[in-house]
Amino acid sequence: MIGHVVIVGGGTAGWMAATYLKATFQDRLDVTLVESANVATIGVGEATFSTVRHFFDYLGLAEEEWMPSCNATYKLAIRFENWRGRGEYFYHPFERLRTADGFTLADWWLKLGPHDRRLDEACYVLPALCDAKRAPKRLDGTLFHNSLHDGGDRPRRTTMFQQDTQFPYAYHFDAALLAEFLAGHGTRQGVRRVLDDVVDVRRDERGGISEIVTREHGPLAGDLFVDCTGFRGLLINKTLEEPFESYENVLPNDRAVALRVPVDTEPDGLAPYTTASARDAGWIWTIPLFGRIGTGYVYSSQFCTPEEAEAELRSFVGPQAADAEANHIRMRIGRNRRSWVHNCVAIGLSSGFVEPLESTGIFFIQHGIEQLVRHWPDQGHDQVLAQGYNESVARCLDGVREFLVLHYKAAARSDTPYWKAADERELPEGLAERLRLWEARLPSGSSVYPYYHGFESYSYNVMLTGLGRAPQRSHPALDLLDPTAARDQFADVRRQAERLAGELPSQYEYLAQLHG
């Protein structure tokens, strides 16, 4: 029986792993987390995916407990600016498409229009709430969509795999503050926290890890080791020498520069979305937190120097960025061939990373932790379990890679060398054939990447249409169907959007109340 887990590395990945394992196994599992005060974390994973709500539910943490401590805000969508053309934008919301007579409203939008309204405007409610900067909750704490409210004040114990409905929001938060909040929560639940430097990693006769050696606390042994050391991959890559498979042949960006910019959020309000603004050699994220924004330029070092990227980012932000310290980041884009080797499991950046375009970094952490529990080993470390874990993690990362490649391939930009090169890059296996399919029909559940990777066909629909790559013709079956039900659905979406944009509190108003 596995009785003791040693997690090497803190930050968001380490403390999410520690608290989740402790919540799952409680006193039946000893969890030790070793983190160094001398090793900085990346600290810019501040926008998330809607499944993260289930993580907090699983830990039994209500929003009023953790959100104020982490300067957290709500995220209803990602707003893509200048990807189709300068001055144009659209939203990728956390909202599934409605249907009429067996076809989605996206299919009906192609047939009926109105084509003077973007697909996301016509088919979804959330874009109107984003434009109006609304919170997804009423001031009494109830969710705007009654069918999604659990009816109680405490979170439900759920996981992402029980997400029968699409939850309509995720979060933005200060990653460093969240890690510290989870550290406090985890130590209260029994996680042993060791603040020390790892100076050596020792292996056993089977090739696995027997213990790590720390500078002040000496050797620390365990049955299972979790590598949360970020891009360094101290255990999985440096010690166990597992090969890393790069995605650089299909994804262009390998660098980022980030700023933390203090702002007064009351006058202009708080946008409930992440913004991804296309630029000459990449794109800029804007993440509104309570009291500041997080912003960064993700770019390719083939087309832009760090100095040029920082200058462009500061120019984009304006005078508010004058005193903000720049954090330059080299991103390791790709994944390990295997994320579980012997008795070591890599989670977070040490396992793999794409780029932050769809805010999937923390999603990968959560997915990795949950898969670890589902494939939990015995003392003999059955390789069938490890193989199942590795396949699930690899497929998830590869699926997100494909979805992100679609963003660059479908973007209607060829006005700079960067965007010309992005369009000419090779495609992951299978995507070329799917793109040919989508020229004739919008993506469906049977025509997108077939393994779980967090994105459903509605996400592919909204990205293709938003980027200007919708099929030229609607589905022929719609020519023979009565459009009345579809027109009623479009009218209902519009009525609901207008009503909610008028009656819900602003995000600032709601969060100001939450902060007391």
Q: Which two tokens stand for residue 181?
A: 């909040």
In sequence order, what are the beta bridge partners of 33?
7, 193
CATH number of 4-503, picked from 3.20.20.70, 3.40.190.10, 3.50.50.60, 3.90.1490.10: 3.50.50.60
Question: Are the C-beta atoms of 72 and 171 separated by less than 8 Å?
Answer: yes
Q: Which residues are annotated as a binding site for L-tryptophan?
A: 358
Nearest CA among 367, 34, 434, 18 for reference residue 188? 18
- Count of alpha carbons within 13 angstroms of residue 196, beta-carbon side: 20
Say whether the peptide bond before residue 443 is cis (omega within 30 degrees of 0).
no
Distances (CA, A) of 198 to 39, 195, 338, 371, 440: 10, 10, 23, 27, 55
Does 430 score more than 70 pLDDT? yes
Is this structure's pTM higher than 0.85?
Answer: yes
132-159 pLDDT tens trace: 999 999 999 999 976 444 444 444 455 5
Which residue type is seen at 111?
K
Average pLDDT over residues 228-252: 97
CA gap 343, 380 in Å, rounded: 9
| Angstrom distance (rounded) from CA 16 to CA 178 | 9
Strand partners, 334: 246, 353
| 8 A C-beta contact, residue 46 and residue 172 | yes
Q: Which residues form the catalytic set? A: 75
Annotated binding site for FAD: 10-13, 198, 349, 362
Distance CA 467, CA 88 (A): 10
Q: Which residues are paired to 192 by β-bridges?
A: 32
Point out the annotated binding site for 7-chloro-L-tryptophan.
75
Domain boundaries defined on the chain: 4-503
CA distance 143 to 146: 6
414 vs 405 pLDDT, higher one:
405
Cβ atoms of 442 and 387 within 8 Å: the answer is no
Residues whose CB is less than 8 angstroms from the CB of residue 81 and which lie 6 or more positions away in sequence, other chains included: 88, 89, 275, 276, 277, 278
Indicate the annotated binding residues.
Answer: 10-13, 75, 198, 349, 358, 362
d(CA 271, CA 512): 14
Instruction: State pLDDT tens for residues 203-236.
Output: 999 999 999 999 999 999 999 999 999 999 999 9
* pLDDT band for position 116 (cuts 50, 70, 90): confident
Helix (H, G, I), strand (E, B) or coil at 280: coil
Label residue 309 by pLDDT band (50, 70, 90): very high
> What is the tens place of the pLDDT at every residue in 165-178?
688 999 999 999 99
Measure the CA angle with vertex 249, ends 243 and 251; round to 5°.
105
pLDDT digits (tens, 9 = 90+) for 69-115: 999 999 999 999 999 988 899 999 999 999 999 999 999 999 998 78
Angle at 19 between CA 400 and CA 244, to 5 degrees: 35
CB 361 within 8 A of CB 400: no
SS3 string, 35-90, reads ECCCCCCCCCCCECCCCHHHHHHHHCCCHHHHCHHHCCEEECEEEEECCCCCCCEE
| CB-CB contact of 91 with 79 (8 Å) | yes
Task: Convert the pLDDT of each residue in 391-402 to its tens digit.
Answer: 999 999 999 999
The whole-chain average pLDDT of the chain stands at: 93
Note whether 78 and 274 are within 8 A (CB). yes
